[in-house]
Structure 1
Amino acid sequence: MNVISPDMTVATAVPALSVTGVSHSYGSRRALDNVSLTVPQGEFTAVLGLNGAGKTTLLSLITRLFDARQGSISVLGYRIDREPGEALRRLGVVFQARTLDLDLSVMENLLFHAALHGIGGREARRRAHAALLDVGIAERAKDKARNLSGGQMRRVEIARSLMHEPRLLVLDEPTVGLDIASKVAIVTHVRRLVRERGVGVLWTTHLLDEIEPDDNILILHLGKPQAHGVVRDVVAASGQDTLRAAFTALTEAPPQEAA
């Protein structure tokens, strides 16, 4: 699938995503507390945390399901609060909950998404066919979405998220509930998008086996950032020997402000 767009000419110094000093509360409960994060173009960045860490809240702010009242969020240099159309046009999203219309075919789901982004007719079908080929599910294009397995649905959601050629892909716990083979296939495909197409990826998970030593990570615990940086640096700074040990140490104690 061809995802080259005018944004490919943007200097790589401009991050795919910049989150600065973001906080959010649900009533009296502080869900996020002064969170900052950068996702460089063409790199894989992961937010790690247990259930209730604030991962989904962070993604809800990035995708503008909620408004960020404290702090700022920018996609490819466009502030979500000031230029939401430009920011969201450059953003592709795969939510944790399934979002396909089960009564539509696979192809119809992709064409509907294309129409929402002003892509119609022949071009929409070309992109949809290419996207389904890319995720290895083109033979199911005419099938109802409800007849797909969980892993197949997730592949379609990834294909759909790339229909409008975003430069940032945000995925919220995308492998939850999938079998091992489907998990491996999804992780491998997303990492290939990073490597071959220069897409910036923000991936949230509590599954540490999805993380590689060169990944950038942010560890959240009860809404507070506990550590951020390249995996090997985070592990070294924690005084532990492995990411698992570092993650356990940082998420078992009461949350502290990250250094």
Structure 2
Amino acid sequence: MQGPGSGPSSAADRADALRITDLSHRFGSVQALSDVSLSVPRGSFTALLGVNGAGKTTLFSLVTRLYSNVSGRIEVAGHDLRRQPAQAMARLGVVFQSRALDADLTVAQNLAYHAALHGIGHRQARERTRQVLAQVGLDQRAGDRVSALSGGQQRRAEIARALIHRPDLLLLDEATVGLDVKSRAEVLALTRRLIAVEGVSALWATHIMDEIQPDDDLVILHKGRVLSSGKAASIAGPSGLTQTFLSMTGAAA
């Protein structure tokens, strides 16, 4: 999926959707991330697997500029986040673990507000709202208040919000937390369908092994460090992903 203002043959469009190199971050005396390097290839579903406290949310906060990185390098679709913040953020759509929609507004109003933040005009915003709500299966709920939606529908609305400006990369931080089994499967299937049909890339942070398929790209993050990266099947090996993860993190019995 092309970002705004870029030709299909530009270097940015040939770059990885996300590339992080030697990224570290501290909170006082606490080392939250240590020399983290990873990449999200174009058109891929990349799972970032780690228990609570592994550093996943800190990593997302750095990529979305909630925190400033003072070491390492972050590139979004070929744009350096520190040197080209506007271009990098224009290529990025985010679904945070905490709910980001205004529950008292309608779905369409939430999307219109987000579109305005990206400089999208009123007429184009209405068309984009129609398109993205159809993509996530909420085209009949545009006029409903967010508070009237189920948890799974709210997550799908947040994904629609993240898609409004046509990003190259979706960041999803524990996007299925608090959802029932059916809703969790729907959100996960939607994300994979967007990759297959729309060409968007995704970095999917999770602690749930069942959300990862053997052919997914996988990064295991533990205590702020990358322990392994590659295809999930190769990392899992004959022992399976759960046992391999427990062995890597020192939690195996």
Q: Is TM (by shorter chain) over 0.5? A: yes
Q: Which residue of 1 aligns with 2:248?
A: 250
Three-state SS of the structure 1 residue aligned to 2:103 is: coil
Give me the whole-angstrom Cα distance separating, in 2, the residues matched to 1:245 and 1:114.
Answer: 44
Give me the whole-angstrom Cα distance separating, in 2, the residues matched to 1:161 and 1:172.
Answer: 13
Give me the whole-angstrom Cα distance separating, in 2, the residues matched to 1:4 and 1:25.
Answer: 34
Give me the whole-angstrom Cα distance separating, in 2, the residues matched to 1:7 and 1:246.
Answer: 42
Give me the whole-angstrom Cα distance separating, in 2, the residues matched to 1:7 and 1:136.
Answer: 30
Give me the whole-angstrom Cα distance separating, in 1, the residues matched to 2:9 and 2:141.
Answer: 35
Cα gap change, 1:60/1:37 in structure 2, threshold over 3 Å: closer, same or farther?
same
Q: CA deviation at 1:71?
A: 0.4
Give me the whole-angstrom Cα distance separating, in 2, the residues matched to 1:140 and 1:151.
Answer: 13
Tell me the TM-score normalized by structure 2: 0.94
Q: Which residue of 2 aligns with 1:228?
A: 229
Q: Does 1:120 align with 2:121?
A: yes
Three-state SS of the structure 2 residue aligned to 1:214 is: coil
8 Å Cα contact 2:2-2:168 kept in structure 1 = no
Give me the whole-angstrom Cα distance separating, in 2, the residues matched to 1:222 and 1:4.
Answer: 35
Give me the whole-angstrom Cα distance separating, in 2, the residues matched to 1:65 and 1:8.
Answer: 30
- Report how many residues are paired: 249
Q: CA deviation at 1:4?
A: 5.2
Give me the whole-angstrom Cα distance separating, in 2, the residues matched to 1:130 and 1:219.
Answer: 35
**Unpaired runs of at least 5, structure 1:** 255-259
Q: CA deviation at 1:198?
A: 1.5
Three-state SS of the structure 2 residue aligned to 1:138 is: coil
Q: Does 1:215 align with 2:211?
A: no
Tell me the TM-score normalized by structure 1: 0.92
8 Å Cα contact 2:2-2:167 kept in structure 1 = no
Please show how residues 71-86 of structure 1 align to structure 2 within 5 Å: 71-86=72-87
Give me the whole-angstrom Cα distance separating, in 2, the residues matched to 1:123 and 1:24.
Answer: 39
Q: Which residue of 1 aligns with 2:146?
A: 145
Q: Does 1:15 align with 2:16?
A: yes
Letter in 2 for 1:16: A
Deviations 1:102-144 (A, max 9, x none): 1211100000001111112211001101111111112211111
Q: Percent identity?
A: 49
Letter in 2 for 1:56: T
Cα gap change, 1:4/1:154 in structure 2, threshold over 3 Å: closer, same or farther?
same
Three-state SS of the structure 2 residue aligned to 1:188 is: helix
Give me the whole-angstrom Cα distance separating, in 2, the residues matched to 1:96 and 1:155.
Answer: 13
8 Å Cα contact 1:7-1:167 kept in structure 2 = no
Please show how residues 5-84 of structure 1 align to structure 2 within 5 Å: 5=3, 6=6, 8-10=8-10, 13-84=14-85
Cα gap change, 1:53/1:164 in structure 2, threshold over 3 Å: closer, same or farther?
same
Three-state SS of the structure 2 residue aligned to 1:70 is: coil
